[in-house]
Structure 1
Amino acid sequence: MSDIQHFPPGTPRREPTMVALYASDPDPDVLRGMLAAAAAVSAGHGWTTTDDSVVSDDCLISQAPQSRTGWARVRELAEQRPISVVVVPSLGHISLSWKQREAERQFLRRHGVSVASVEPMLDAILSKAVR
């Protein structure tokens, strides 16, 4: 049997939305919680996350994004085009500096990648994960 999927004429084919999850915090427990919240939001949207696109840095978010190895990985994924969304706990995880954050978001946009922040939903998601 063929593994080629057949779609009725006129049916648009939708590729799965590939995402990267990113967070930065020196506390590994906090980091796991934030990544779990980002994963829940991603799954809720039907987005696909692979093991190599769950990225983190074990430092404070006050550190410049250009100096973080995890953020460098996010940039690399954007350049390689396997992702179309980066899910972060809050936009501050990109940078606390508005100027740096906007420069990074501009870089991502040039590569067709948008940013989704779970900050408004984070408390609700974390409380469900703890139960």
Structure 2
Amino acid sequence: MDILVSTLCDFAADYQGKLCIQGGFDSLVARQFPVVHPVCAVALRICLTPEDEGTHELGLSIVDADGTPLDKERMPIKINFPVPAFPEGASFFTRNLIMNFQGLRFEKPGNYSIDLTVDGELASRVPFRVVQVQEEAAQA
């Protein structure tokens, strides 16, 4: 199982097997903390091979620089991800996964990441930062 795309964005959709990503970003800016980011998404494109057949557990956490989950009660988010038997002659197939978030609360500025695990092993880490700006800089 290979993670081909893993990104944080404003919006993502799967349209007939195509992964449509809009507004990819790696920084959030706020004047004061705590701050709530209204809406964002994590977009994933996963490549599967016959060796991946079976059920896997995917886990997703948004963590701070110390590895502490943003929401300790709800993260990691875990799902069972079944990979069916492959059709004759198929050497791979891909799947798009999109996770939408609303109302993410950041208590302080700093470095964060979106950590994706497959069967308990880290498969992808998407770093991003939350930055505090002064009022004068925000008006420039």
TM range (shorter): under 0.3
Higher strand share: 2
Query: TM-score, length-normalised on structure 2?
Result: 0.25
| Bigger relative contact order (CA 8 A; separation at least 6) | 2
Higher helix share: 1
Structure with greater Cα Rg: 2
Query: TM-score, length-normalised on structure 1?
Result: 0.27
